[in-house]
Structure 1
Amino acid sequence: MTIRPARADEAAALVDFWGRAGENEARPADTEDAVRRLVARDPESLVVAERDGRIVGSLIVGWDGWRFHLYRLAVDPGARRSGVARALIAHAEERARDVGAGRIDAMVLEANGQGASFWEASGFRPQDEWRRWVRTGPYES
Structure 2
Amino acid sequence: MRKRAKAFLCAVLSAAGLAVAPGPASAAAAECSPNFDHICLWSDINYHNGYGAWASSVAKLPTALNGKVSSLKNFMPGAVIFYSVENYGGSYFCIDQDGVDGDLRNRYGDGITWNDRIRSFRYYPGGFCNPP
Regarding TM over 0.5, the answer is no
Which structure shows the higher strand fraction?
2
Which structure shows the higher helix fraction?
1
**RCO higher in structure (CA 8 A, sep ≥6):** 2
TM-score w.r.t. the length of structure 2 is 0.31
